[in-house]
C-alpha cells in the first residue's frame, strides 16, 4: 500500500494504460484503437501530475479539509460523463463482421447520404447498418457512401471528447483519493517518525541532521514538528530518555544520545552540528548540569551562539533543585520550567505550546 501511495502517479498511469488497452481489445475497435491505447494513459498521466503538483497549494489544502465532498463531486462527474459517453457510443457506433468472421466496432454518422437513403427505401428488409453496408456498398470500405462526412466527423469528435471526460474525471478521482490517503499517511508525525527511526541504513544522528535539512522541501519530512536537542547531565539520563520517547511519540525529532555519534567524527563538531540543525533546545537543569567543566555548559554555549535571543527556542527545565545563582545567565534569560507534577508530561506540554505558538503567529 505504501508503494501505491508513494508512486501514485506511476500507478495511475499504468492502470489507465491497462484500461485503455483492455477497452480496445474488449470492444474490438476498428477505429480510435490507438487513441484508447495511447491517449488513455497519457491523459491520466497529465491529470495525475497536475493533481500531484497542486498538492501543496493553499486552495488544495482547503479542499483536502472537504475531501469527502470533493470525492463525491468527482465521482458524480465521472458517472455523468460515463452516462453521456455511453449514449454517444451506442448511437454513434456499429458492429461489423468482415469476410474473415472478425467483428469490429466502427464509427458511423448520424445522417445518411441521399444514395444510402434511397437504397434503404428500396430495400425495407434491411434491419441494420452492417447489413446496409454489406448489401449495398461493398462492406466497411463503403462507409463514407452511407453517412455524410460531416456527421461522421462530428460523432468522432463527440466520442473523443466524451471518452476524454470519462478518463479525466476518473483519473482525477483516483488521484485525489490516493493523494488524500498519502497525505493522511505521511502527514501523521507519528507515522513519519516511526518509519524514519526504523530505517537501518543511517545512524539516528545522521537521520536527525538529514531530516532537518529535507523537511523544508520533502513531503515525507515536512510533518516533523520540531527538531529538539536535549541537553542533560549523565545522571539525568533516565529522565532524558523518558522525555525523548514522549516527544518522539508526539511527532518531534529528538537528539539526546551523545553516545550514538558516527564513528570517527570529532565530538565537538558533531554536537555543534546537531544543535545547528535544531529548532528547540531543552536544558535539563541539575547541579551536575551547571557544574564547571561539564559538557552541558558547552552545549548551552553552542545554543547561545545559534540563538542569541532565547525566547521561543530555549526551554530550561528544573529537574533537580539547583541554586538560581548557579544557573548560567543564558539559561535563566527565559522562564525556567519547574514541574509541579509529572516532569515528562509537563515538558511535552510546554514544547507543544511553543510549537503551536510559533505556528499561529
Task: Report the CATH number at residue 201.
Answer: 3.40.50.10140
Q: Tally the domains of the chain.
A: 2
Q: Do 159 and 230 fall into the same domain?
A: no
Indicate if 156 and 283 belong to the same structural domain. no
How wide is the angle at C-alpha 300 spanned by C-alphas 294 and 304, nearest 5°? 150
Query: Which pLDDT belongs to residue 62?
Result: 59
Residues 179 and 224 in one domain: no
Long-range contacts of 95-99 (CB under 8 A, 24+ apart): 95/130, 96/30, 96/129, 96/130, 96/133, 96/134, 96/139, 96/140, 97/130, 98/139, 98/140, 99/139
C-alpha cell at 28: 474490438
- Shared domain for 256 and 244, answered yes or no, is yes
Are 256 and 215 found together in one domain?
A: yes
In this prediction, residue 98 carries a pLDDT of 78
CA distance 227 to 207: 11
- The verdict on 89 and 237 lying in the same domain is no
Check: CB of residue 220 under 8 Å from CB of residue 285: no
**Residue 157: inside a domain, yes or no?**
yes
At residue 59, the pLDDT reads 44
**Inter-residue contact 20 to 37 (CB < 8 Å):** yes
Closest CA to 347 of 260, 256, 224: 256
Judge if 160 and 206 occupy the same domain: no
At 277 the pLDDT is: 93
The bridge status of strand 280-285 relative to strand 227-231 is: parallel
Do 226 and 352 touch, CB atoms closer than 8 A? no
Last residue of a domain, one of 136, 164, 186: 186
Give pLDDT, residue 58. Answer: 44
Note whether residue 236 is domain-resident.
Answer: yes
The reply to whether 73 and 221 lie within a common domain is: no
The answer as to whether 258 is a domain residue is yes
Examine the domain organization and report whether 231 and 92 are in the same domain. no
Helices 189-198 and 237-249 cross at an angle (nearest 10°) of 120
CA distance to 11, 19, 20, 36, 176, per residue, from 23 (Å): 18, 6, 5, 7, 24
Q: Is residue 239 part of a domain?
A: yes
DSSP 281: E
End residue of a domain, out of 156, 186, 216 = 186
Cell of 347: 515538558
The whole domain housing 36 covers 2-111+147-186
Q: Which residues have a Cβ under 8 Å from the Cβ of 187 and sit 6 or more positions away?
A: 222, 223
Q: What is the pLDDT of residue 186?
A: 53
Instruction: Kindly state whether residues 90 and 226 are assigned to the same domain.
Output: no
**Residue 361 pLDDT:** 52
Low-confidence ranges of the chain (pLDDT < 70): 1-6, 52-65, 180-200, 218-220, 259-260, 262-264, 359-361
pLDDT digits (tens, 9 = 90+) for 79-95: 999 999 999 999 999 98
**Helices (DSSP H) in 7-148: which residue ranges?**
8-26, 33-34, 40-53, 58-64, 67-92, 114-122, 129-136, 143-146
Q: Are residues 175 and 224 in the same domain?
A: no
pLDDT digits (tens, 9 = 90+) for 283-308: 999 999 999 999 999 999 999 999 99
Amino acid at each position: 500500500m505504501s508503494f501505491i501511495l508513494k508512486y501514485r502517479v506511476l500507478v495511475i498511469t499504468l492502470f489507465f494504460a491497462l484500461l485503455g488497452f483492455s477497452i480496445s481489445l474488449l470492444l474490438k475497435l476498428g477505429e480510435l484503437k490507438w487513441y484508447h491505447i495511447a491517449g488513455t494513459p497519457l491523459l491520466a498521466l497529465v491529470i495525475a501530475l497536475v493533481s500531484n503538483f497542486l498538492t501543496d497549494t493553499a486552495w488544495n489544502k482547503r479542499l483536502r479539509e472537504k475531501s469527502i465532498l470533493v470525492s463525491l463531486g468527482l465521482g458524480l462527474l465521472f458517472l455523468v460523463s460515463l452516462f453521456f459517453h455511453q449514449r454517444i457510443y451506442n448511437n454513434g457506433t456499429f458492429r461489423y463482421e468482415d469476410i474473415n468472421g472478425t467483428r469490429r466496432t466502427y464509427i458511423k454518422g448520424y445522417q445518411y447520404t441521399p444514395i444510402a437513403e434511397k437504397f434503404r427505401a428500396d430495400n425495407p428488409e434491411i434491419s441494420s447498418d452492417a447489413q446496409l453496408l454489406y448489401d449495398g456498398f461493398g462492406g466497411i470500405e463503403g462507409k463514407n457512401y452511407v453517412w455524410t462526412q460531416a456527421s461522421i466527423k462530428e460523432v468522432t469528435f463527440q466520442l473523443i471528447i466524451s471518452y476524454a471526460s470519462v478518463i479525466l474525471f476518473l483519473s482525477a478521482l483516483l488521484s485525489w483519493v490516493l493523494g488524500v490517503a498519502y497525505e493522511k499517511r505521511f502527514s501523521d508525525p507519528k507515522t513519519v517518525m516511526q518509519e524514519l527511526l526504523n530505517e537501518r541504513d543511517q545512524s539516528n544522528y545522521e537521520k536527525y541532521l538529514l531530516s532537518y535539512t529535507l523537511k523544508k522541501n520533502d513531503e515525507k519530512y515536512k510533518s516533523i514538528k520540531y527538531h529538539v536537542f536535549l541537553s542533560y547531565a549523565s545522571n539525568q539520563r533516565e529522565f532524558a530518555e523518558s522525555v525523548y520517547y514522549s516527544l518522539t511519540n508526539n511527532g518531534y525529532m529528538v537528539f539526546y544520545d551523545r553516545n550514538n555519534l558516527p564513528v570517527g567524527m570529532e565530538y565537538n563538531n558533531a554536537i555543534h552540528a546537531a544543535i545547528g540543525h535544531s529548532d528547540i533546545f531543552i536544558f535539563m537543569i541539575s547541579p551536575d548540569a551547571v557544574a564547571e567543566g561539564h559538557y552541558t555548559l558547552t552545549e548551552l554555549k553552542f545554543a547561545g551562539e545559534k540563538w542569541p535571543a532565547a525566547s521561543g527556542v530555549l526551554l530550561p527545565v528544573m529537574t533537580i533543585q539547583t541554586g538560581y545563582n548557579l544557573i548560567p545567565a543564558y539559561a535563566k534569560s527565559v522562564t525556567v520550567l519547574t514541574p509541579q507534577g509529572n516532569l515528562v508530561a509537563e515538558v511535552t506540554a510546554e514544547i507543544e505550546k511553543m510549537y503551536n505558538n510559533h505556528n499561529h503567529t
